[in-house]
Structure 1
Amino acid sequence: MARPTSDAQHDQPMQSVPSRLGRKRDSSRDGAILEAAIEILGDTGYDRMTMEMVAVRARAGKGTVYRRWSSKQEMLLDAVARMKAEEVDLGRMPDTGSLRGDMLALFQPQSVEQTDRKLRAMAGLATLLAQEPALADAASDAISSPWTQANRTLLERAVERGEVASDAPIATLATIIPSLGAHRTLVQRKPFDQAFLVEMLDCVLLPAAGVRPTAD
């Protein structure tokens, strides 16, 4: 005959097996790893680049790298996105009083070494896209997103001060120079320099926005 159980026995909580919490990801290592990825990409090119090389250069364990990125394609896209995001400070937009002046002030001249480094990174990205065309949208976002956001901010400010019409297609206008810049670096393998920016401003963006170019 089964022994009756008391309500107290039913109410006692079941002992749970303690769960093992995985070690939290240390995001402070991401920057060093992505910086190493850009360096390796420039040194070896995309085809010869390996995640093991990046781990060694960043002084990180292979497990640390593979927990963050499942492939070198994914790592490269993140590395390029980080590199492009560092080019513009979205929290400190210039305010010169004119759209042309703001756009020129947003551009920061690069040293020969910096320009060469970025061109080699873009060449590696172009190789990746030739092999993996399905990644085109992700690559475009990595390259252009920070600059598109910055351009949109400056265009919206120009609308507020009456320099650009309120019904202007701001979202489209904001993509013009970043898209042309991506084509220049990825396809033409040429640097995005100030001369190119001035030409694109005066001949393309400002006329499209209905702004008459003036020397700033």
Structure 2
Amino acid sequence: MNDTRPTFVLLHGLLCDADTWTDFIGPLSRLGHVLAANLSGTGSLPGAARDVLARTAGPLIVAGHSMGGRVALEMARQAPARCRALVLMNTGYRGLGEGEAEKRTALVRAARAGGIQAIADGWLDGMIAPRTRDDAALMARMRAMVLRSTPDSFAGQIQALIERPDATELLGQIACPVLFMSGTEDRWSPLDRHADMASRVPDATLEAIEGAGHMAPFEAPAACLSAVTDWLARRGLAA
């Protein structure tokens, strides 16, 4: 008998890696196949989407965090028939904002001059809820993850984000169900942005993750996982 279970594609964000999904991989593997993609060499969001699609077969449930959410949208653009559902966490959909390229390239220059450690603490501080700073073990874990990146990898990811496609029109064309999630303390991709995105998608659900910032999969993994699995069960999207 053929295995018709979906593949869960898990897409991490900028300066992150598969550690984003540590608390998700085991539970999701009981519902289908799991691929935690490596986006460290990304230089193009559409290109990353093509690469992931080429590495998988059959129906997909794609979960993307931050930059990974942008890649998930590109996967839905390129292979709509294969996307059974999308989970978009702490992300966005618009193209480049005014002054954004300059701010992002300044971070790249700093990383090239002083290494990733030169930007790690300041970058993380802008991504987390205030209470997260008091969790020394979590902060150490996230900082270690950021330091696994290299200036070259960071520069490629930044270039991909600067050149990202605007997904405004795409949102209204997504035929599969979409779960939008963001932390109530996310200052980078706030909850109201996700409400805006949800309003543009034909079949959308919005979940607020209380007390979490932009790094919600780390800051509130149990709440994030529960939101995902409960939604999948309600929608009959995974056994």
State if a TM-score over 0.5 links the two structures. Answer: no
Give the TM-score normalised by the residue count of structure 1.
0.29
Which protein is bigger by CA-based radius of gyration? 1
Normalized per residue, the structure richer in helix is: 1
Normalized per residue, the structure richer in strand is: 2
Give the TM-score normalised by the residue count of structure 2.
0.27
